[in-house]
């Protein structure tokens, strides 16, 4: 199928190459003169395109859906279909290679659904490398209900006592400790120190099955976002630099980043039970 734009291009080529009038060129090509003479009256979307490019340059790992949420917050009266079309036209689409998943016949253990914040947390470690080649470990703690990042701490090494201290500090900040924490079978989580801490604080430790990371799927999904949106985009000069960048990213994740599982609300706003207050709406061709 030939588009009107392509038809106009062919007519223009015929006129220039054979020095024909517009009427003769349209007859030769079989085009309608009204289609060739048509000039679009659509409002310019240059401002919207520019703002979309700016957001995509900052949020390099975000797709068009999250960028659409940010545009709506800023007051742009656009739907997701227009944003998707401009996103593709500007060649901002992400190219991700999805790994092949092996099918398993194992039955996954069904855990009860959480209904409030601080009912269940999940935690796990992530590894990364500093500029000088040293390896660091990052302890990530997530609230399963609100998806909020409760703690994100980087150290060169962790002991079980460090994990206990981080959990206690997180509980003080949030006003209470969770009823249950989902963990894997790492040495820091199976230690006597964490077991004693959980007993005295009346916290139940829910261990995932060996070789079944999806038993702790909430923190695994968070680790994927952390890797994609932060660790893969920064080269940490030293441990202090890593802690500063992780702190800023955690603040942005909790208070700004739209979460698809929460109705595109940031975790803090979802936990508070309120909606994100957008800026006054403006037309799609308004300046950003």
> Does residue 254 carry a pLDDT above 60?
yes
Domains of the chain, by residue range, sit at: 4-37, 46-89, 120-271
- How many Å apart are CA 87 and CA 55, to the nearest integer? 11
Phi, psi of 142 (to 5 degrees): -125, 140
Percent of the chain topping pLDDT 90? 62
Percent of the chain topping pLDDT 70? 89
What would the mean pLDDT of 188-194 be, rounded to a whole number? 92
Q: Is the pTM of this model over 0.75?
A: yes
Per-residue pLDDT reduced to its tens digit, 164-174: 999 999 999 99
pLDDT for position 60: 86
Q: pLDDT-based confidence at 40, cuts 50/70/90?
A: confident
What would the mean pLDDT of 113-130 be, rounded to a whole number? 92
CB 142 within 8 A of CB 254: no
Domain 120-271 annotated CATH 3.30.420.10: yes
Per-residue pLDDT reduced to its tens digit, 72-116: 999 999 999 999 999 998 988 877 666 666 655 444 556 678 888
The label of the residue with tokens 């803090």 reads 268
Q: How many CB atoms lie within 10 A of CB 40?
A: 6
pLDDT for position 250: 95
Average pLDDT over the chain reads 87
Cα→Cα distances 238→93, 137, 245, Å: 33, 13, 11
pLDDT for position 26: 92
Which two structure tokens, joined as six digits, stand for 270?
């979802």
């Amino acid at each position: 199928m030939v588009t009107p734009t392509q038809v106009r291009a062919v007519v223009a080529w015929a006129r220039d190459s054979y020095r024909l009038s517009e009427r003769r060129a349209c007859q030769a090509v079989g085009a309608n003169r009204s289609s060739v003479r048509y000039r679009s009256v659509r409002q310019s979307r240059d401002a919207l395109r520019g703002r979309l490019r700016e957001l995509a340059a900052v949020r390099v790992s975000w797709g068009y859906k999250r960028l659409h949420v940010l545009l709506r917050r800023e007051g742009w009266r656009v739907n997701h279909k227009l944003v998707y079309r401009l996103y593709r036209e500007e060649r901002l689409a992400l190219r991700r290679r999805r790994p092949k998943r092996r099918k398993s016949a194992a039955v996954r253990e069904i855990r009860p659904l959480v209904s409030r914040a601080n009912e269940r947390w999940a935690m796990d470690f992530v590894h990364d490398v500093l500029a000088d080649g040293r390896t660091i470990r990052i302890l990530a703690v997530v609230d399963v209900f609100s998806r909020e990042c409760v703690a994100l701490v980087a150290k060169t090494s962790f002991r079980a006592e460090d994990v206990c201290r981080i959990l206690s500090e997180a509980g003080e900040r949030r006003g209470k400790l969770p009823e249950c924490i989902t963990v894997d079978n790492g040495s820091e989580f199976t230690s006597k120190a964490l077991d004693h801490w959980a007993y005295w604080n009346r916290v139940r430790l829910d261990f995932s099955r060996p070789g079944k990371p999806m038993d702790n799927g909430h923190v695994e999904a968070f680790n994927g976002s952390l890797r994609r949106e932060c660790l893969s985009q920064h080269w940490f000069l030293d441990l202090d630099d890593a802690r500063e960048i992780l702190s800023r990213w955690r603040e942005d994740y909790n208070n700004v980043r739209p979460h698809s599982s929460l109705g595109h609300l940031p975790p803090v706003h979802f936990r508070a039970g309120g909606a994100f207050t957008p800026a006054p709406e403006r037309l799609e061709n308004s300046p950003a």
